[in-house]
Amino acid sequence: MNPTYQAVFDALPEPKPVWKHFLGMMQVPRESGHPEQIRAWLLEQARTLGLQSAVDRVGNVVIRKPATPGLEGRPSICLQAHMDMVCEKTKESTHNFDTDALVPRLLDGNTKLMATNTTLGADNGIGDAMALAILEDRTIQHGPIECLFTVDEETTMKGAAEIEAGFLQSHYLINVDSEEDWRICIGCAGGFEAHIRQPLSWIQAPGARIQLELHKLLAGHSGVEIHKGRANANKLLCRLLHQGIQSVTPFALLQSLVGGTKKNVIPGASKAVIVVPEEHVERVMAALHAKFEQIKTEWKTAEPEMELAMSVLPERTGFALCPSSTRKALDLILAVPHGVLRMSPDVAGLVESSINAAKVTLAHGHMENHLQIEFFARSSNNNAMPWIYEKLGCIARLAGAQLSERLHDFPGWLPNMASPLLATAKQVFTEVMKKEPEIYAIHAGLECGMFQAKYPGMDCISVGPYMTDVHSPKETLYVNTVPKVYELLVGIIRNVH
């Protein structure tokens, strides 16, 4: 273990095996879509522990621990977490997620664990680590245990969606992918992806090129943080262009606009290039700066660190959208929905339906010269999802654009208040935490609904330690919540009959 990791490990509390496994995972590249290295690492942990493991056709890993002698008759229980992570970094970071280990750091008296200028990967690495620590722990009296590590949860949920029937042997499943240690989750939203493509006309456009980059927005998870009213960088940049230029010159053309990274990340940065006559450069930049100051004041509470960088590029020729297509592109980006669509009428404070206008790509030579906007919609009401899709279709038709089919559909997870696993978890939670748990459903997508579709009657709950700002370089794991959640998991395992 290198000195940085050793110093962090030494400062972390018991149970040390959890931190050993988590810090081990931080050194293994595991971006969604690239599970090879982390899968090999997990299989090596199974070999080291002398436990049986298997890989299904989609790449999920299961590690099985036999029951304590005499307890073979107890029902099998599965601990489940996903092996991939969202890979986001600050603008200044040179981190290579394909090769580099994450760099851990402790803050605030060793109570907060973060990475250095990147996501931490505690979503869901800390769940993986707790599962591995339980596999390693020989002091627990338990029935059969299996730990499932799924692939690509953060992108397509392919691991859960395509898990093989019969791959799991458990009736009970604890998903260790929640982020609030005072609660037990018993339901989640379903969702789908889609994209709109708009054909546009390009022309040779001589003139000065002004590059704008709106960045340092908070971004965040499009499920658990969509209700916080954070700005969408793509839409806000288009608003800046729309309002900042129209009073100065009618001759500004849009050459490119690219922003957003992942379907489940609220866009935190966006970059555009506009073409204006040479004689208007100073006036345009002054108008954009003035409008940005107004917008910054408006957003000072929700987006306190937002910045705008502007520069004049050396190029003076090349393609840009014609005037009418410039207008069409800005209109479409500004018109598409983003954010909360409806709050639940039944559960106070729960978002029922939302949509993340996640990515915009507009550049000559890309996407067949179309503007493409990618969306990720969520709803705990399965009847609402077709309507959200139809709404996108209405906007696409008005804009002369095409809407894709619904992609990567996944079902919601319906709550079951009569769950025997929940009853056991509530009892153990009260003993461990010295208070009763909040029981809730979440707007983010968890994999439990997909497991239940493949394994009818499977009884599921979800728990986890406290984390904030997941899916962003500000991702923070609150260290002191981990031991109690580990104790909760151990207590549930001991008491499942």
Catalytic residues: 84, 153
Pseudo-torsion of CA 235, 442, 126, 150, nearest 10°? -90
d(CA 126, CA 132): 10
What HEC string does the chain produce? Answer: CCHHHHHHHHHCCCCHHHHHHHHHHCCCCCECCCCHHHHHHHHHHHHHHCCEEEECCCCCEEEEECCCCCCCCCCCEEEEEECCECCCECCCCCCCCCCCCCCEEEECCCCEEEECCECCCHHHHHHHHHHHHHHHCCCCCCCCEEEEEECCCCCCCHHHHCCCCCCCCCCEEEECCCCCCCEEEEEECEEEEEEEEEECCEEECCCEEEEEEEECCCCCECCCCHHHCCCCHHHHHHHHHHHHHCCCCCCCEEEEEEECCCCCECCCCEEEEEEECHHHHHHHHHHHHHHHHHHHHHCCCCCCCCEEEEEEECCCCCEEECHHHHHHHHHHHHHCCCEEEEECCCCCCCEEEEEEEEEEEEECCCHHHEEEEEEEEEECCCCHHHHHHHHHHHHHHHCCCEECCCEEEECCECCCCCCHHHHHHHHHHHHHHCCCCEEEEECCCCCHHHHHHHCCCCEEEECCCCEECCCCCCCEEEHHHHHHHHHHHHHHHHHCC
d(CA 392, CA 377): 10
